[in-house]
Amino acid sequence: MADELSDIEMLVVTHEPLELEQCFDLARAAGLDGLDTWGARGGPERRVSGRRDGVPLELVWWSREHAEARVDALLAGDPSSAADALAHGRPLRTAGLLAAWQERLRVVPPEVAAARIEAAALPWGGFAPEGLLTIARPGDRLALAEWLVDAATAVLAIVFALNGAWPPTSKRVAARVAPLALAPDRLAERIEQALAEPDARRALRVMTELQLDAVRLAPGGPNVDRARAWLGAAAEVLRD
């Protein structure tokens, strides 16, 4: 999914692992300039950024062995957004590996989806609902922002898992959730509303009600069941 602000992101899969300098040399030979790298430099992945004809590109380099291991890890529950990227990737040149990976990643395994839903609901309970008011104090906007972002991220994790879809990054949320069959009403709009709301208590109420709608859609489980009761009580506290 791209728009006029998007850069070009490419995954390059090689037979053998490459050193970073080799990736720089190959990118340079392909006409990229202004080369740099980001993220950790150790491990099996290499990352090179640059420009060609003024257009920004990001290249991620995996060996074939690492690519197979990453797909295995994603199917086992690795929460990375790489699964979504692979599932929606378009090959420029391929020996058929991408199609095979996309078939494996066609849906989220039910046990992975269930685990993600339970993990997302874990923070919502176990303490008095009135405790939410401690992050609505004047001058505590950072604590409030942390809670709201974490809550929104967890809601999205639940919703994508409910739909058997791999979670993407948090960019362009409205477009990504629009095709989903099962989601709280006005999901993206309510996330934006909570994050933009200047009144701390009102922002918490908007987000709490969204969290509650999300867990009401989810199948029962220890964390989900507790979250339903706790979020319902928290919403009442915030309405008072």
Residues 138-195 pLDDT 10s: 999 999 999 999 999 999 999 999 999 999 888 899 999 999 999 999 999 999 999 9
Per-residue pLDDT band at 40 (split at 50, 70, 90):
confident
CB 180, CB 165: distance < 8 Å? yes
Q: Which residues contact 94 (CB under 8 A, 6 or more apart)?
A: none
Q: Can you give the length of the chain in residues?
A: 240
Per-residue pLDDT band at 2 (split at 50, 70, 90):
low
Question: DSSP characters for 82-130?
Answer: HHHHHHT---SS-SSHHHHHHHHTSS--HHHHHHHHHHHHTTS-SS-GG
pTM for the model stands at 0.89
Residues 190-240 pLDDT 10s: 999 999 999 999 999 999 999 999 999 999 999 999 999 999 999 999 997
Residue 7 pLDDT exceeds 90: no
Share of the chain above pLDDT 90, in %: 83
Residue 5 pLDDT exceeds 80: no
Q: Structure tokens of 216?
A: 């009401």
Residue at token pair 């990643």: 105
